[in-house]
Amino acid sequence: MIPIVYDQINGWGKDDDFFLSLLKEINAKRIADLGCGTGRLTIHFAQKGYQITAIDPNQEAINSAKRKEFADKVTWIVGDSGDLKPEAYDVVIMTANVAQVFLTGESWRQVIADAYRALHQGGHFIFDTRNPLAKEWEEWRYNP
Ligand SMILES: C[S@@+](CC[C@H](N)C(=O)[O-])C[C@H]1O[C@@H](n2cnc3c(N)ncnc32)[C@H](O)[C@@H]1O
């Protein structure tokens, strides 16, 4: 990921409205944004007053996130799900296809176990994923 390019091509979407409405609906307060990237959505969470910890293994993305307005309201961590604090959050959220980075059953089980460990009882693990039935790759074109 190249942070400045990522932010230019990934604007606000309907899915982001959905995430915000879901957080409101479940009355979340403490959120871990796992795979936060450039803080594209994290910053909106912070702006809305949520208590946010944002984690991503990409140091460059975190550096870029930290330069944004409201970044001082966020606890930023360069790391992964193993860095989530135990029983600390109402929600662990992974947005914009972070789930797609876990390519093996083992890595997926690990992230689920870490998210479970990090949530309060009754907490929520929220994530999106592409729908393989849509076969989006059949629409991909190389246009030099
Ligand atoms: C498509 S970006 C999504 C960024 C952000 N959530 C958003 O809504 O714009 C995927 C992110 O997953 C991060 N990532 C890669 N491996 C990861 C891992 N093992 N744990 C958590 N995040 C990871 C990448 O560094 C990248 O920032």
CB under 6 Å to ligand 1: residues?
1, 10, 34-37, 40-41, 56-58, 61, 80-81, 95-98, 101
Rounded to the nearest integer, the mean pLDDT of the chain is 94
Tell whether 35 is covered by a domain: yes
Question: Which of 3-12, 40-49, 77-86, 123-132 comes out lowest in average pLDDT?
Answer: 3-12
First to last CA, the chain: 20
Q: Give the model's pLDDT for residue 115.
A: 98
Contact between 117 and 86 under an 8 Å Cβ cutoff? The reply is yes
Residue of 5, 60, 98, 109 to test ligand 1 pocket, by largest number of atoms within 8 Å of CB: 98
Percent residues over pLDDT 70 in the chain: 100
Tell whether 67 is covered by a domain: yes
Domain of residue 115, CATH code: 3.40.50.150
Cα torsion for 77, 81, 82, 84, to the nearest 10°?
60
Tell whether 93 is covered by a domain: yes
Hey, whose CA ends up nearest to atom 16 of ligand 1? 101
Domain, as residue range, for 70:
26-129
Q: How far is the CA of 115 from the centre of ligand 1 (A)?
A: 15
* Three-state helix/strand/coil letters over 96-139: CCHHHHCCCHHHHHHHHHHHHHHEEEEEEEEECCCCHHHCHHHH
**29-55 residue pLDDT tens:** 999 999 999 999 999 999 999 999 999
Could you give phi then psi for residue 125, rounded to 5 degrees? -105, 115
Tell whether 32 is covered by a domain: yes
Does residue 144 register a pLDDT over 80? Answer: no
Counting the structural domains of the chain, the total is 1
Structure-model confidence comparison of residues 83 and 7, the more confident one:
83
Confidence of residue 119 (pLDDT cuts 50, 70, 90): very high
Does residue 28 register a pLDDT over 90? Answer: yes
